Structure 1
């Protein structure tokens, strides 16, 4: 929005030309999303407390979590507001990549909001029934995938980039839609599973968003793309603004979500953030690298799959509790130790993912 205003004013005052630089707008996007989060956070938390929108705690979980009962949830509203407002201010809104990300963020945010609302306001422990939650996630992801496929203008937009191999880039064709669907829905639910401890999900999300911003900027810059031997995607650079908005919004939310948390993000936040990371990874053609950088999300998801599968097939559990972060809590690790060690693992995974830019 402000990009258009700056373009209009530049002929009258050259100082406004600074807003045409993508890197400057990325910095402003981080700061804007961060300040919005810090400004709106206290008021939202007080409002949620007045509504008694408190988190329900499972009785069969770690006993240390019982003290968290009643902590306000649905704090993901703060994250979504910060991301959307910052993106609207600093991104080029005519870019269809930006439009798709905003649509996915708002769509998955609505699904998560309905789920949280039914749980904590209507006191329905099931929330939105799983089949309906999955249906709406699937519908939004499929629509986004079909739109992106239909609007692809260069072959590179529908190729599969294989990490560490510079010449392995098969053309996906219609399989692009299927891959995009699974990446968006899968990442959304993986982040949701990870969101079980104070700050556990938001910091890996911040790291992955920052790294995806690097990929978006490099892919959208012809010289960098040629130097790094990655496909040049002319419109992808603008996604840097969205990634930095996620980064800033995440930092602002972490201010209130760090241990001991004053607010939880709820499904409205976790489902949305995961979907945003997934659709951005699809756009910059880094779906496989997302698997690496989101290693913590993968660990959490696989631990649940193993636990459920083992119990159904053998009647035995692999872990003391799933997702795996609860396993370590039940082994006696204090919650802050689990959180920080998972953050460290996430940093390692993100660095490995970034290394694929050169190791090709």
Structure 2
């Protein structure tokens, strides 16, 4: 009898060891995936409140060739089933059941990204968001003033209010969420720049700093000239001289601008025509980056009041009109 019992116990232990070994092998064996044509990943959506069984079914439905019951059992035996997070995930070839659970518990969602470029206008930002992969266009049917209301900035013009950067988001996220992050980032960057302003800055408020930074951004062809350009405009503001900058005129023309800035455009008085009006325009004209913000509040010390493009991206700076006219003849007229 004792021998029979010992034999049975041995068989049970051997079976348990074999079963444990098989389970360990399965947990670390890459799952077979039925990838869609032209894709290298499987998309997996886990809805909020989904139980372990539902998550396992979703994995199988997405295209993973694995028994749903076995996957569900693994989730529960791990003790982490209730820690699985809802979200959008991507399964790549080589993913094991153990790696899958770790990804779901950590909430390692498949992220997409959209880049907002320095110098872009709000219209260009909206186009980029519309084209962004798997970003829900919740704001596309809204007028700019309604968008700003939803961002908690009612009555504020949207131009220049978003910081140019690359923003990541989960699949299906709202474009409004991206705009909120970009707006908060700009507020933070502007506050930081304003706190660092030069004591002799002619700017009276962070708003003016943002406007000037947007002009500096649009006028800068070479990064090393940026602070010098900020110095020219600061000098003009101090003495009440018109800024005389083409980008503001172009912005004021809007859709009427056909790529050719004419003399009549420079003479037509509008709030954005800095040839006919002194001071800053009423709003920013584009999104300035960090360097442009700093150039606006910490301009290079210079006596220059003029600059002209050399044709290679850099600018020639002049302290008086005679010098400037000579520079224009040399670099623009080729005389």
- Tell which structure's C-alpha radius of gyration is larger: 2
- TM-score normalised by L of structure 1: 0.21
More helix per residue: 1
| Greater length-normalized contact order (CA 8 Å, ≥ 6 residues apart) | 1
More strand per residue: 2
- TM-score normalised by L of structure 2: 0.23
